[in-house]
Amino acid sequence: MLPDANPIYGESPRCDLHADLHEIVARHCGEKTNLLQLLIEVQACAGYIPDDAASYIAAMLAIPRSRIESVASFYSFLHLKPAGEYRVLFSDNITDRMLGNQDLMEQMCRQLWVQPGKVSEDGLLSINTTSCTGMCDQGPAMLVNGHAITRLGSQRIQEIGQLIRNRTPVAEWPADYFKVENNIRRGGLILDNKLAYGQVLQATRAVAPATIIDTIKGSNLRGRGGAGFPTGMKWEACRNAEGEARYVVCNADEGEPGTFKDRVLLTTQADLVFEGMTLCARAVGAKKGFLYLRGEYRYLLGHLHAVLQRRRDSELLGESILGEQGFDFDIEIHLGAGAYICGEESALIESLEGKRGVPRNRPPFPVTHGYLQQPTAVDNVETFCQAVLALHMGAAAYRAIGTEKSSGSKLISVSGDCASPGIYEYPFGVSVRQILSDCGAVNTRAVQISGPSGICIGEHEFERKLGFEDLPTAGAFMVFDDSRDMFEVARNFVHFFAHESCGFCTPCRVGTSMLKQTMDKVAAGHGTQHDLTEIENLDHVLQTTSHCGLGRTACNPVLHTLKHFRPAYETRLKSLDFEPAFDLDGALARARQMTGRDDAGAHLKENE
Amino acid sequence: MTDTFQLDGVAVPFEPGQTVMQAALAADHYIPHLCYHPEFKPHGSCKLCTVKVNGRTMASCTMPAEAGLEVESEIEELNALRRTLVQMLFAEGNHFCPSCEKSGNCMLQALGYDLEVHAAGFRHQYPDRPLDASHPDILLDFNRCILCELCVRASSEVDGKNVFALAGRGNNKHLIVNAESGQLKDTDIALSDKAMQVCPVGVILPKRVGFSQPIGERRYDASPISAQALEDAPRPPSGVEHD
Ligand SMILES: Cc1cc2nc3c(=O)[nH]c(=O)nc-3n(C[C@H](O)[C@H](O)[C@H](O)COP(=O)(O)O)c2cc1C
Ligand code: SF4
Ligand code: SF4
Ligand code: FES
Ligand code: FES
């Protein structure tokens, strides 16, 4: 488990890796499954993973050295080469862009004389972009040495530049920078619950595990992480699967751009989350649980560990929970390190085992062969919260909320062009128009439901309703008004998928990066009808042959915007049917400059 | 009595635990594949073996065989997808087949011919992938790597050495060797290793034997890959006959 102390890291004077490394490795007891956690700590301590540290860890864990390189290079936040004493990452979701992050990044690069993606010559800093950090309602946002900073503006960037130049340790930066608001705009079943911690565990003490599962099944609760799998069926399958041990995993990777409701739940309802995990453990017969927390939310560690400890002290975790013989369960927190794919449940399990987060071949599924090949129930943060409420209210009362096929409530993360971005909780069945009106959105052109992998809907579809019957959603709700260019929205999402593809399978590894190149070509004004055909071809291959959900949905942003906003693409096309990727005339520009010529004879004619 | 599934309308018998690919090959039915190797656990990464199972596209090398499945493979829709995947692999690396030592013995090239890939299809990416010629007996030409992980698996599972590993993510994924210097000469690889024999393309090459077998007399010069893959197919354990 990671220590709460020493949350500030990366400033070289404070860290003596040679002294700390032994301690870090010893604390992980040479467990190979802790390799990723160990590397995250080394990164935090030294700012990167030095060559000799990698060799030392390999020797201590008795693993090939190449495995360290292999694992570390998979995660964006781990570096095998020095990446600067200060590592600045601008969140680059479309919502950050709409709030002006690109200008701010340019300003900072100019101020500190550094190029994006490069380490400054004195080794002081690097500036780069990163995928959505989950602060869309209070962006533009950034991470500095892993610390989330919100509400950036020109003034704040100026100040941060000064602090870096003066080598002020991040721990001494103004606390206001790191303030993360909850922005709860509308409560409901979950956010307004009045449960005391431990209350539902107490109340279900005498209830048999099979009855717990029956209640969850009867409540029609379906997973809130995106796929909407019936939770009761999952728990039952896990309970019935053969294995030596069973595990409960809470998926707090929340990587889908535009989603931040799990952050707010972990901040305001941590007890409910852990209570749900403990009830699940009782139902399936697990002794150990994991919360897989995305690296971007590392700042929540102290708070979460405190809640866990309080629950241990109150007999709600640990051995003989609430005095019940044999009801032993505890929760460990594992951190991610900048890889969206680790939200996919089998990739998450690989990552929990300390490996590269590559999705497994399925079947077998995690419920029978999950963590260490044992039966594992993986559920989203919100699903565990909903499960507690369902058990508290009883199946029928819970089912009465929402719609026929979508029972209960849903937390929606609203961001983009609206007056009040933040968290809204609604019973399922709420219309898009209702949410738009509640959040104060005007002149709305489109809404991206459930993030880049979800769907983009236009104005004529705003009567559609959130729920598994119509518009399933993991919770993201990004609003675009009529000043926005939907082609640029799609291009941002395409870049996201190319950056986050794990690279395992051919279609996604190659296809997402080709899609990105083609979208960039169209953006630069060199696109042709031929490129649109190529985009459609790539989309088809991605959709039909990819290994996991990432590749299979990576084409959605383009497919949906092409369907609704085709003119946004077509106005960018050259009339030519084919445009070579190589610009011959452009290549002559240097020669023209050197010879001082710019007459017609010094140009290649178009259409030749 | 063994169970069967339907492959392009023909009944294929299978043993419990076999995947669709394994059962098909054992029964003399070819399904295109690249990262699958009969001696190793199926990997499922190249997706060349994509088939339609009850209407859904799946990788046949990892899909467990089940009684009554309706599997389609030899249909134009799937071959079109396979052609695109081959084009993607060609575009992703640097493949100059005419000067490649593996030409004629290369599975990627052979699949290209067999699937009738006539055009590049995509803009080539021309990645910068320097060679590793550090080892006295072995050359690594990363330009041709298709990231199938066969060498990784062979070195770890058969040779017990872990000479190779994959690093990076997405488009940046690449093959590395197990040495702090990053060079093959500092690993314990040997010419006799299984890892030397499994590369389907021309990455891992013994030095000083280049072109000793003339082009024109190489494996896939004689007959297309679809006619040869069956020779390598795993057969039922000796004594067990299927009909
Ligand atoms: C690429 C990808 C990313 C995902 N990211 C998340 C995530 O961040 N959080 C999450 O709960 N589920 C995510 N999922 C869904 C999980 O695989 C899994 O379905 C979910 O955690 C199951 O929990 P639930 O049944 O409670 O929804 C992702 C799936 C894919 C394919
Ligand atoms: S679809 Fe993409 S992310 Fe998923 S396994 Fe393939 S390469 Fe990895
Ligand atoms: S070197 Fe050859 S065997 Fe190894 S991953 Fe690359 S293509 Fe596959
Ligand atoms: S042969 Fe099946 S995925 Fe490669
Ligand atoms: S012919 Fe291109 S790698 Fe062999």
Q: Domain total for chain B?
A: 2
Q: How far apart are CA A297 and CA A276, in angstroms?
A: 20
Q: Is position B79 within any domain?
A: no
Q: What is the mean pLDDT of chain A?
A: 93
Q: Which of residues 68-127 of B touch A (CB under 8 A)?
A: 81, 84-85, 88-89, 91-92, 122-123, 125
Q: What is the pLDDT of residues A436-469, one digit of tens each?
A: 999 999 999 999 999 999 999 999 999 999 999 9
* B217 and B144 within one domain: yes
Tens digit of each residue's pLDDT, chain B (243 residues): 679 999 999 999 999 999 999 999 999 999 999 999 999 999 999 999 999 998 899 999 999 999 999 999 999 999 999 999 999 999 999 999 888 989 989 999 999 999 999 887 888 889 999 999 999 999 999 999 999 999 999 999 999 999 999 999 999 999 999 999 999 999 999 999 999 999 999 999 999 887 778 888 888 888 888 888 777 766 554 333 333
* B108 and B63 within one domain: no
Q: B154: closest CA among B70, B45, B39?
A: B39
Lowest mean pLDDT among A4-18, A194-208, A242-256: A4-18
Task: Quote the minimal CA–CA distance from B64 to chain A in Å.
Answer: 8
pLDDT at A10: 40
* B68 and B159 within one domain: no
Which of these three, B14, B40, B74, is where a domain ends? B74
Range of the domain at B43: 3-74
- Domain at B67, CATH number: 3.10.20.740
Tokens of A219: 């409540």
B34 touches B48 (CB < 8 A): yes
Measured from the Cα of A231, ligand 1's closest atom is 25
pLDDT at A3: 36
Q: How far apart are CA B161 and CA A517, in angstroms?
A: 38
* B188 and B120 within one domain: yes
Q: Ligand 1 centre from A342 Cα, in Å?
A: 9
Q: Is position B239 within any domain?
A: no
Q: Is position B111 within any domain?
A: yes
In the block, residue with structure tokens 């899909």:
B63
Q: Is position B32 within any domain?
A: yes
* B105 and B56 within one domain: no
Q: What is the pLDDT of residues A211-239, one digit of tens each?
A: 999 999 999 999 999 999 999 999 999 99
pLDDT at A600: 77
Q: Is position B166 within any domain?
A: yes
pLDDT at A15: 58
pLDDT at A576 over 60: no
A77 touches B173 (CB < 8 A): no
- Domain at B153, CATH number: 3.30.70.20
The verdict on a CB contact (< 8 Å) between B85 and A503 is: no
Percent of chain A with pLDDT over 70: 95
Task: Give A153's pLDDT tier (boundaries 50, 70, 90).
Answer: very high
The verdict on a CB contact (< 8 Å) between A361 and B123 is: no
Percent of chain A with pLDDT over 90: 87
A150 touches A173 (CB < 8 A): no
* B124 and B14 within one domain: no
- Among all bound ligands, the one having the nearest atom to the CA of B196 is 3
Q: Is position B227 within any domain?
A: no
Q: Is position B42 within any domain?
A: yes
* B147 and B44 within one domain: no
Of the partner residues B47, B89, B162, the one whose CB lies closest to the CB of residue A66: B162
pLDDT at A518 over 50: yes
Question: What is each CA distance from A400 to A386, A428, B160, in whole angstroms?
Answer: 14, 11, 59
* B151 and B42 within one domain: no
* B160 and B64 within one domain: no
Task: Quote the minimal CA–CA distance from A127 to chain B in Å.
Answer: 20
The residues pairing with A329 across neighbouring beta strands, listed in sequence order, are A318
- Among all bound ligands, the one having the nearest atom to the CA of B141 is 3
Looking at per-residue pLDDT, the higher value among A496 and A23 belongs to A496
Chain A residues within an 8 Å CB radius of B179: 65-66
Q: A547: closest CA among A362, A418, A314, A402?
A: A362
pLDDT at A409 over 90: yes
* B113 and B49 within one domain: no
Determine the longest span between alpha carbons in chain B, in angstroms.
Answer: 56
Chain A residues within an 8 Å CB radius of B180: 51, 54-55, 65
